[in-house]
Structure 1
Amino acid sequence: MLKTSYLLAVTFAFSACVSQKSKKLQSVTELKDKTGWTTDTLRKDVIWYKFNAVTDGEFANQNVNVISFNPKLKMGKMLLDYKKEKDSLSVFASRISGALAGINATYFIEKKDSADYMHLRLKGIDIQNVKVPKSSIYWWKHQGMFTFNNEGTDFAIHFSSEDFGKIKSENIMTGAPMLIDNFKPVGLTFADTAGVNLKKLHYEHYLKHQGIRHPRTAIAVSREGNLLLVTVDGRNKKALGMSAKELTAFLSRYFNPRSAMNIDGGGSTMMWVKGEPHNGIVNYPTDNKKFDHYGQRMVETVLFIK
């Protein structure tokens, strides 16, 4: 009897140990290369990855935050919020009940010179339709589209349609450029600046806008259907920022997602995490031209996990 009890105790302890190891491994299996990363579990379905490397041969002096949301665990949802009057990310967060983490979303809708380059559909209602012709300097701004269901649990990123009326998804948010399409790193060649005098180009020209280093915000969908919210800090020697090409290479190297799309970056790049200092802002927004957490920009669209 004692022998049997001993064996049961050992078996239970071993199983518990294996279970704990499995949980720990599960939280980092998305990372293909863990060098330079730290990981924090915000909730069983929400993992916060933090990258900071000084000596990495490819991505030295970069500061990156990634929130991974696993909808299959059925513990939460993603929410896209839009406000014409604009607010900071932390103010958006204060209004969203149960908000756990979030980022700024796509390019501005309400902007006199370019309000028609984006498409935004929420719960079946088209708030903004793309109207710019292919000859416009803004033609590329809606190259990709993020679609999701009303429940905020099923996600896809594809090249935009020629006719958004044919897209049946209840929700559409466009952005650009596409970085990864069905595992193909299309962003590696989108803005090839070789031999181009960037000083002569308009700021919104796709080569200048995407071919040089800036703070970046992106979204990605993993092979398993997880949603990744990504911010890359920039404009500082401690955080150099990335071009679209570099961001594509970064995501491919560390996460190898099925698809990924760049969204509004620069001074708009912000990430918020519940309970963190500095009003929850964990990256280094640049609108105050300081390397701190207080340079939030007023934006119109945000993506949150709750």
Structure 2
Amino acid sequence: MKKIIYLFSSLYFLIISSGMAQSPKDSTAIAQIKWNKHKIEKGIVWKQAHFDDLYQAHQEVNILEIDLNKKKIDIDFAGLATGLELTSEFVKNNDAIGGINGGFFDVKDGGSVTFLKIDNKIVNTTTMNTGEERSDRTNGAIIINGNSGKENIDILGTELTNMNWEDSIDAPDIMVCGPLLIMDEAYVILAKNAFNDNRHPRSAVALNGNKLILMTVDGRSNQSYGMSLPELAYFLKQIGAEKALNLDGGGSTTLVLNTPIKSGVLNYPSDNKQFDHEGERPVASVILIKKK
């Protein structure tokens, strides 16, 4: 794989300041929470926690933590050029151990509206960008590269002025999404807008050394209010994320397992406006955990 350098302006990254909503109390709540942990497979752990008072609200968090050093675990993407499918169906149809919903999609016709490449085949191109700058929902990507015989997972980012960024990424599997939350252990500056600042259900992917983190935060319920993107980034940083990328959230937020130990939706998708496991929304792409 040829080496690619991704440049950022000196103003692009900034450690979160005390002016944001997070407090030492929130840091303590995250540090002291007793996770419900379940070993799913060798190298795969499901972690669940309910917070009664995180960001002054109830929060429900689910995480699948994958040890990327385990040789029998494979990370893949799946996606549809057109049409939509439930995350749980993507997982079952691809004989996967588990998975999380992926990037943004066309609600009417299906298919991703952010760049998606699987096994060197472009499934969808980015159609969210307008004008002379990228949407910040397309400023990051998770890539899978196995050119060297060993699968490597990474999270990349770019400046909003880099309109043809996807073309420069040398990897057979690329899922563009965003906003980018954390890069090289530093918070990424997030634009002030309703999408970023309001609380919603959220999905994210992160890297912590050799561990891949797939995380959902439920929302739109009295049992779990959801998080803003600064709150999501803060949480991920507190649990050790060195790089982190926001995925499609809202009603799309879904985390699934498909194993003898646990099978079904782990979180509480909000599309049916009920705090249960039945409210899945069909999506266009997913990140999958599979056995090699």
TM-score (norm 2): 0.79
Task: Note if contact 2:144-2:153 (Cα within 8 Å) is conserved in structure 1.
Answer: yes
Provide the secondary structure at the position in 2 that maps to 1:284. coil
Deviation at 1:178, TM superposition (A): 0.6
2:91 aligned with 1:105, yes or no? Answer: no
Task: Note if contact 2:58-2:223 (Cα within 8 Å) is conserved in structure 1.
Answer: yes
2:227 aligned with 1:229, yes or no? Answer: no
2:165 aligned with 1:181, yes or no? Answer: no
Task: Note if contact 1:90-1:279 (Cα within 8 Å) is conserved in structure 2.
Answer: no
Deviation at 1:134, TM superposition (A): 4.6
CA RMSD across the alignment:
2.6
Deviation at 1:272, TM superposition (A): 0.8
Deviations 1:50-72 (A, max 9, x none): 1211134x464100111111121
Matched residues, number: 254
Counterpart of 1:4 in structure 2 is none
Provide the secondary structure at the position in 1 that maps to 2:195. helix
2:222 aligned with 1:249, yes or no? Answer: no
Within a 5 Å distance, the mapping from 1:105-184 to structure 2 comes to 105-108=102-105, 117-131=113-127, 133-135=129-131, 139-150=135-146, 153-160=151-158, 162-163=163-164, 164-184=166-186
Provide the secondary structure at the position in 2 that maps to 1:86. coil
Deviations 1:181-230 (A, max 9, x none): 110011xx4033xxxxxxxxxxxxxx1111100000000011x2321111
2:59 aligned with 1:62, yes or no? Answer: yes
Deviations 1:132-188 (A, max 9, x none): 5553897222011111125893111121354322211111111111110110011xx
> Pick from 250, 253, 275: which aligns with 1:269?
253
The answer to which structure has the higher helix fraction is: 1
Name the CA distance, whole Å, in 1 between partners of 2:173 and 2:259.
Answer: 29
**Cα gap change, 1:117 to 1:138, in 2 (>3 Å):** farther
Name the CA distance, whole Å, in 2 between partners of 1:285 and 1:88.
Answer: 11
Name the CA distance, whole Å, in 1 between partners of 2:38 and 2:168.
Answer: 40
Q: Gapped runs of 5+ residues in structure 2?
A: 1-29
**Cα gap change, 1:132 to 1:103, in 2 (>3 Å):** closer
AA partner of residue 198 (structure 2) = I
> Pick from 244, 254, 272: which aligns with 1:260?
244
Deviation at 1:108, TM superposition (A): 0.8
Provide the secondary structure at the position in 2 that maps to 1:247. helix
> Pick from 267, 271, 288: which aligns with 1:287?
271
Deviations 1:21-64 (A, max 9, x none): xxxxxxxxxxx8352422111112101111211134x4641001
Deviations 1:218-265 (A, max 9, x none): 00011x2321111110001110000100000111112x2120000100
AA partner of residue 258 (structure 2) = K
Q: Gapped runs of 5+ residues in structure 1?
A: 1-31, 193-206
Name the CA distance, whole Å, in 1 between partners of 2:60 and 2:39.
Answer: 19
**Cα gap change, 1:238 to 1:227, in 2 (>3 Å):** same
Deviation at 1:109, TM superposition (A): 5.3
Deviation at 1:277, TM superposition (A): 10
Task: Note if contact 1:120-1:172 (Cα within 8 Å) is conserved in structure 2.
Answer: yes
Deviations 1:275-296 (A, max 9, x none): 4899601111111111111011
AA partner of residue 191 (structure 2) = A
Name the CA distance, whole Å, in 2 between partners of 1:278 and 1:267.
Answer: 22
Name the CA distance, whole Å, in 2 between partners of 1:226 and 1:278.
Answer: 21
Counterpart of 1:220 in structure 2 is 206
Deviation at 1:130, TM superposition (A): 2.7
Name the CA distance, whole Å, in 1 between partners of 2:62 and 2:79.
Answer: 23
Counterpart of 1:15 in structure 2 is none
Q: Max radius of gyration: which structure?
A: 1
Q: Identical aligned pairs, as a percentage?
A: 28
Worse-matched range after superposition: 119-128 or 160-169: 160-169
